[in-house]
Amino acid sequence: MKRRLTVGAAAAVLAAAALLLGGAFRGGSSAASAPVAAPATAESLQTGFSPGSTEGLVARLQAQLRTAPDDARALDLLGLAYQQRARETGDPTWYAKSDGVLRKALRLAPDDLLATSGLGSLALSRHRFAAALTLGERARRLSPTTARNYGVIGDALVELGRYRDGFRAFDRMATLKPSLSSYARVAHARELIGDWDGAVSAMKLAADSAIGEQEPTAWTRVQLGKLYWNRGRLAQADREFRDALTAFPGYVYALDARAQVEAARGRIRPAIALERQASDTIPLPQFVATLGDLYRVEGDERGARREYALIGVIERLLRANGVKTDLETALFDVDHRVRLPHALSLARLAQAERPSIDGDDVLAWALARNGRCAEARAWSERALRLGTRDALKFFHRGWIEACLGDRSAARLWYRRSLALNPHFSILWAPVARKGVSS
């Protein structure tokens, strides 16, 4: 009986917490920013469940399900706990397990709300946005007053480029239930429309609601730090990243972010050590690419090529696992002049699957690097249509203008990008500086 109660309490928490943010909710605004972890909320403290004990909860639920394998409720919770483990460890094996468990719950109870929205957030983590939207809508029909359903719907809409509807969903979510998850989403929306101050204050609220919890604290600190970073506020950004690492030692997204701060300060060796640590733990393509860029900056061409070759391997594995090419892959290929025509068709595919401003921007960049600059400008305009203030997107636009022969417009865009963040990219910030002075 007692165990049942504990699990019931944990149920309330997980339902309200871990699930709330889909893994795809993205911080920062550069197209290649880290896929986002989803924090649990502070409510877990009140119920005595802290994320550090996700492992314990998993073990308890597993034991319970071994004696009663058809307990849909326990299956739901285990599926959500597995997703939280994936966020804590970065190990995607947990996603497959979560999928299996939630599907089983849905077979037992076809109208199960938690399983439906849980599969929705799982789809977001796997970048299957259309599927996530369908699942989120289904969950909303099952329970129109549950806040988390709007989180799933809104995230999917934003990634699909339907910003107005997406922001409306976030609004509804925040009204139904102000929490870490809704604050973080509001911050993201504000950043997208260029309201940086608003974004920072919302993300601070989110960080406050995460206090006392490891992974959510680390996640919100990294997001807040990235907001500072995007405005070139190195010291403030670094403080947030360090806080994240204190809250959650070895947190890979914070290691990656700190590496970029070190690089911006011209300290390439420490930057390499940090990025190495991140990519050794989880070789995400963006970590490996940054590491390669850092080696290149340091003059270690062999090291750079070794990392770039690894990207090719990761891509092969993604394809072998049925993952469609992602925006990050296309962006890497375009940045590094890897088979440019092929990279362009990848970018077209990625943009079709993910017609967000990030998709538009990567497509614009791919077109420009293939010499099709007139077409590129149209996409770049689309990428900037929300009024987002993003140094990398500004830089891309400047490059396109230069390609079209409008040197004063190019200088203007370069200057704007450097004014936002003089260190916006290891590869491209120096190019922008040269463009301004020429």
Partner 1 sequence: MKKLLVLLGVVAALAAPASASAHPLGNFTVNRFARVEVSGHRLYVRYVLDLAEIPTYQARQQGVDPAAYARRIARNLRVSLDGRAVTLVPAGHALAFPQGAGGLHTMRLELILLGPTVDRSARLAVSDTNYPGRIGWKEIVVGAGTKSESDELRAYPKSLLQSPLDMTSAAATVSPTSDPPPGLTTGKALQAPDRVADSGFAKLIGRGHLSALVILASLAAALFWGAAHALSPGHGKTIVAAYLVGQRGTPRHAALLGLIVTFTHTIGVFGLGLVTLALSQFIVPDRLYPWLNLFSGLLVVSVGLAVLRSRAGAWRHTRAHARGEHHHHHHHGHSHVPAEATGMRGLVAVGVSGGLLPCPSALVVLLAAISLHRVAFGLVLILAFSAGLALAITGVGLAAVLAKRAFARSSFDGRVIRALPALSALVILVAGVAMTARAVPKVGF
Binding site for partner 1 (CB under 8 A): 55, 58-59, 62, 65-66, 78, 85, 89-93, 97, 100-101, 104, 250, 277, 280-283, 306, 309-310, 313-314, 316-317, 319-321
Three-state SS across 246-285?
Answer: HHCCCCHHHHHHHHHHHHHCCCHHHHHHHHHHHHHHCCCH
The residue (of 105 and 392) whose beta carbon lies closer to partner 1 is 105
Smallest distance from partner 1 to CB 93, Å: 4
Smallest distance from partner 1 to CB 48, Å: 22
The residue (of 109 and 176) whose beta carbon lies closer to partner 1 is 109
- Asked if residues 281 and 266 have their Cβ atoms less than 8 Å apart, the reply is no
The residue (of 193 and 282) whose beta carbon lies closer to partner 1 is 282
Smallest distance from partner 1 to CB 314, Å: 7
Smallest distance from partner 1 to CB 243, Å: 20
User: Counting Cβ atoms within 10 Å, is residue 235 exposed (0-12), middle (13-18) or buried (19+)?
Assistant: exposed
Smallest distance from partner 1 to CB 393, Å: 31
The residue (of 6 and 277) whose beta carbon lies closer to partner 1 is 277
Terminal Cα distance for the chain, rounded = 75
The residue (of 2 and 66) whose beta carbon lies closer to partner 1 is 66
- Asked if residues 83 and 39 have their Cβ atoms less than 8 Å apart, the reply is no
The residue (of 49 and 251) whose beta carbon lies closer to partner 1 is 251
- Asked if residues 223 and 250 have their Cβ atoms less than 8 Å apart, the reply is no
The residue (of 52 and 100) whose beta carbon lies closer to partner 1 is 100
Smallest distance from partner 1 to CB 198, Å: 37
Long-range Cβ pairs for the range 95-100 (8 Å, 24+): 95/122, 95/125, 95/126, 98/122
Closest CA to 9 of 41, 46, 38: 46
Structure tokens at 224: 């807040």
Smallest distance from partner 1 to CB 296, Å: 17
Smallest distance from partner 1 to CB 280, Å: 7
The residue (of 58 and 124) whose beta carbon lies closer to partner 1 is 58
Distance CA 24, CA 353 (A): 14
The residue (of 319 and 434) whose beta carbon lies closer to partner 1 is 319
Distance CA 52, CA 57 (A): 10
The residue (of 282 and 412) whose beta carbon lies closer to partner 1 is 282
Residue 78 CA to chain centroid, in angstroms?
23
Smallest distance from partner 1 to CB 391, Å: 31
Smallest distance from partner 1 to CB 316, Å: 4
